[in-house]
Structure 1
């Protein structure tokens, strides 16, 4: 493959890895805006490793809406064995949610390895001919583990009987994660297509030093 192709691939993988990191560290995979009671409500954000909440208080006045006051977000680890009853009735939920967090972090690791492989692989012509396969494999693993986190959270959102999830909705981090692994699979398709074209000797993929097989 051309150096240009690897440079473009590096930038695209960097973008998807950034999306991976952003989604994994955000605390708004699921959002519960709560219900108002006595002019106050509690907003809760759920991340893969963190739960954050804050109070929203509406002070009545002469206007219809009143004055709205917000408290700062208070965050804690999520799920926790005592607070979230992980040792009792929520054991399965906690195990699945924690697995989603681990899966997302493993995906980030494979994304970083893909970038490293791209940096090492472009150093010589012989490496450029081979490294695309490793890059495609690493980006595939990055996408798969990100998708696993997505599937677990989506399934728990739809099927969990956890009372805290009764009024939740999908948040921005969920959509960012989905965008990252869809984009990663598209990168894999492009890398494999270009790599195979280079192996077949197409100059648009292999450049002027295209590899051609010697007829037996």
Structure 2
């Protein structure tokens, strides 16, 4: 493969890695807006590893004004006591934690993919071979993200957690989808370019394309 192809692949994988990190770290895979009660607006954001709650209290003030009080707090999610992980929600907690595990595993595969691409671009002989390893690592990165997506989607659709009937997908959920869709395109691009270079196509292998000797 040409150096240009590896450089493009590196930045594409780096982009999916960035999206993957954001989706894992953000606490808004699912967002629950609770009904307003006694001038209080309560929004709960649930991420792979944490739960954040935003409460806004609006009280009527003098001369028609409004006095607002805002409280924002986060905690680990799921927790044994707060989320019933040792009782009625035990299965949910185990499955949800699996989604977080695969999200972080995807980050690891993406980092190794970037390192493999940087290592492979150093010499011409490595560029002929490393695309196979790079494509496998990117594919594992994508697969890990898709598993996280599938797990969260299943738990959300089946309403396995008490508040999921009022939940809606948040920004982290969208970032995850964009990341693995982009990763699928990157994987297909690396495989296509690598196979074309191995067959001697100049657009993929460059001006010094390898062509097998025909006997």
Q: TM-score per shorter chain, which class?
A: over 0.9
Change (3 A) 1:181 1:73: same
Q: For structure 2, which runs of at least 5 residues remain unmatched after alignment?
A: none
Partner of 1:13: 13
Q: State the Cα deviation string for residues 139-173 of structure 1 (Å, max 9, x = none).
A: 00000000100111111111024222231111010
CA contact (8 A) 1:54 1:70 kept: no
Partner of 1:167: 166
Correspondence list, 1:131-210, <5 A: 131-210=130-209
More moved, 54-63 vs 102-111:
54-63
Partner of 1:56: 56
CA RMSD of superposed structures (Å) = 1.4
Aligned residues: 214
TM-score normalized by the length of structure 2: 0.95
TM-score normalized by the length of structure 1: 0.95
Instruction: Please state whether the residue corresponding to 1:89 is helix, strand or coil.
Output: coil
Change (3 A) 1:67 1:158: farther
Instruction: Please state whether the residue corresponding to 2:58 is helix, strand or coil.
Output: strand
1:214 Cα deviation after fit: 1.5
Distance in structure 1 (CA, Å) of the matches to 2:38 and 2:46: 24
Q: For structure 1, which runs of at least 5 residues remain unmatched after alignment?
A: none
Would you identify which runs of 4 or more consecutive aligned residues in structure 1 move more than 3 Å? 60-63
CA contact (8 A) 1:143 1:185 kept: yes
Partner of 1:35: 35
1:57 Cα deviation after fit: 1.3
Distance in structure 1 (CA, Å) of the matches to 2:112 and 2:82: 36
The structure whose residues are more often strand, as a share, is 2
Distance in structure 1 (CA, Å) of the matches to 2:17 and 2:124: 26
Partner of 1:97: 96
